Structure 1
Amino acid sequence: MNQIALPEFHMPFRSAGCNPGIAITQEAVWKWAASHDLVLSPAARKKMVRTRPELWISLIFPTASQRHLDLFCQWLFWAFLVDDEFDDGPAGRDPRVCEAAIDRLVAVLDGGEPRGAMERALAELRSRTYRDRPEHWIRQFRRDTVSWLWTYYAEAVDRATGHVPSRAEYVKHRRDSVAMQPFLDLHEITAGIDLPESARSLPAYIALRHSVTDHSGLCNDICSFEKEARLGYGHNAVALIRHERGCTLQEAVEEAGRELARVARRVASAEDELLEEIGAAGIEGPTRIALERCVRDYRGLVRGDFDYHARAERYTRPDLVEVDERDSLSEHFAA
């Protein structure tokens, strides 16, 4: 593949820095993985080291307590294992295998008996995360997590049929597939807030969450397109722009960069609209405080996600991708 220049992009949001607990979290997540028999092959371990889940968590949650930082990083570590299995492994290429694996994970999330290592790790994460959380929050987190998992099945079916989604279809799909929504839910834990259903139903709050997730998905696609092209993975905004417009790869990357800037402006617009809706709806007390906290923190979350993609070798050095990184993690899904 010819060298492609990534687009220049001005990030309008200031960095909130990195959580000082990053080193402790990095050590804790590997101990946690070992304690749950998530034994990675040398190639898969190298890939996870280059992915640096502790960096992403520490950048988007710079003020989280050590306990929350560790828990959230363990969720992310687990999610990256799932992602690599379905993107690069056989489970993502056979819809029936994919369906069965996701069915089992959803069952465990709903309290079912775990079988393989991945399921046992999920059960333990679920137990710690759900502890002391209100029912409406659990419903939201469950909905967002399950929606993310089923995007892998949709992609497996697309691969099997040769279907190429339109850009509009893909944007909707990507809001779930980027897996940012569950972490926006986890943000409420570390922020010490509780959003009632009425707040979640505000049009501007929905628009703000969509903008945050759209930014993360597009940023990831821009930074991942070279690695994903090498692996034959086509669910990527850059690839779809090129397919739809018949343009060069460089032109597609530049268009994606312009779209990323537009999405960042949407984040700021949704913030302003949300503040107006809070006033118009007469929202006061803890709900107002919670929504205003989201407005403040989501900017830092977008910036942290952006900075992570500029620093993690998973994205900055796609030339290090090796054939053996396709090593399957299927044994972790087995009974």
Structure 2
Amino acid sequence: MPADKIEEYADGLCYTDLMAGYYLGAPDEVMQAIGDYSAWFFVWDDRHDRHIVHRRPLAWDRLRTGLHTALDRPHEHLRHEDPLVAGLADSVLRFHRFLPGTWNTRFARHFHAVIDAYDREFRNRSEGHVPTVQEYLDLRRLTFAHWIWTDLLEPCAGIELPESVRKHPAYRRAALLSQEFAAWYNDLCSLPKEIAGDEVHNLGISLIVHEGLTLEEAVVEIRRRIENCVTDFLVAERDALRFADGLADGTVRGKELSLAVRACVANMRNWFSSVYWFHHESGRYRVDSWEDRSTPPYVDNEAAGGK
């Protein structure tokens, strides 16, 4: 954004408010780092979109490569000429202060996969390829960064959860449902913008192209899936809390893990209300008020990321 656009639009986009409603109970330093990273993520998403719209594959490849290397060697990229690369390096180094190196390695592994998924989306959109519904759902878990937002529950709780906890079916299902809700609700709210922009990456568009649904039928189907996420989460939440109770085995470590899982599951629940609020308060989705329904008015359409 140019400076005048920041003055006019930044607060109304509510990017940090979304995170503040999700990661309740986080220490201030952790919350600030997550809020800044969230704002960075939205800017990166917009840059990626502009590179596609203006057919800049070389610029995208430079950015993609820069992000991968900044993720692995953040100290070397704090003064990178591209503010997006430098911004990621800054976020990574701040996250590194909160939990052990094993968490840092996992975060990097998960975010490398997100960057690669954005690259697949770049190719799909450049070629006009609309993924099948299942292909889209699998890719969406990465482009929405399901496991990144789930990883960030742990520094908020002040503990790295062991793999046996993170991958337990009760914990993992609750985490997945909270993120699926968010991704599909985002698709529902983004559908007008993405249809206007000849997009190919949206659950609704995949349903229309591959399942033969009308626009109205696709909206009904997305809503059905979203509502099922809510009802299924209520069941998964009970299972996850029972799992948390079972971790309290009379040891100090057991009590610590039990409390941490309960805190993480509570914030999974918060994701529902925070995401719902965000999509109706943020200026990012008020496409009916935009001059061009495919392009947010706060984006510097020509200059973003170079030619």
Partner deviation per Cα, 1:14-61 (whole Å, 9 max, x = no partner): xxxxxxxxxxxxxxxxxxxxxxxxx63655775544422122122223
Residues in 2 aligned to 1:68 and 1:49: alpha-carbon distance in whole angstroms = 20
Q: Scaled by the length of structure 1, what TM-score is found?
A: 0.78
Residues in 2 aligned to 1:92 and 1:267: alpha-carbon distance in whole angstroms = 40
Quick one: which amino acid aligns to residue 295 of structure 1? V
Q: Scaled by the length of structure 2, what TM-score is found?
A: 0.85
Is 1:51 matched up with 2:13? yes
Per the alignment, residue 63 of structure 2 pairs with 101
Question: Does structure 1 retain, via aligned residues, the 8 Å contact 2:129–2:200?
Answer: no
Per the alignment, residue 83 of structure 2 pairs with 117
Is 1:256 matched up with 2:222? yes
Quick one: which amino acid aligns to residue 299 of structure 1? R
User: After the TM superposition, which residues 115-194 of structure 1 pair with which residues of structure 2 at under 5 Å, given as runs?
Assistant: 115=80, 116-194=82-160
Quick one: which amino acid aligns to residue 158 of structure 2? G
Per the alignment, residue 207 of structure 1 pairs with 173
Q: Equivalent pairs: percent with the same residue?
A: 24
Deviation at 1:171, TM superposition (A): 1.1
Residues in 1 aligned to 2:304 and 2:4: alpha-carbon distance in whole angstroms = 12
Partner deviation per Cα, 1:133-159 (whole Å, 9 max, x = no partner): 212211221122222222210011112
User: After the TM superposition, which residues 252-291 of structure 1 pair with which residues of structure 2 at under 5 Å, given as runs?
Assistant: 252-277=218-243, 284-291=254-261
Is 1:85 matched up with 2:51? no
Residues in 2 aligned to 1:178 and 1:328: alpha-carbon distance in whole angstroms = 25
Question: Does structure 1 retain, via aligned residues, the 8 Å contact 2:96–2:104?
Answer: yes
Question: Does structure 2 retain, via aligned residues, the 8 Å contact 1:227–1:321?
Answer: no
Quick one: which amino acid aligns to residue 308 of structure 1? F
Q: Which SS does the other structure have where 1:310 is aligned?
A: helix
Name which of structure 1's ranges 233-242 and 111-120 shifts more when overlaid on structure 2.
111-120
Per the alignment, residue 69 of structure 1 pairs with 31
Quick one: which amino acid aligns to residue 55 of structure 1? D
Quick one: which amino acid aligns to residue 138 of structure 1? N
Residues in 2 aligned to 1:60 and 1:312: alpha-carbon distance in whole angstroms = 15
Listed as ranges, the gaps of 5+ residues in structure 2 are none
Partner deviation per Cα, 1:255-276 (whole Å, 9 max, x = no partner): 1111100112222222233345
Quick one: which amino acid aligns to residue 136 of structure 2? Y
Q: Which has the higher contact order (CA 8 A, sep 6+)?
A: 1
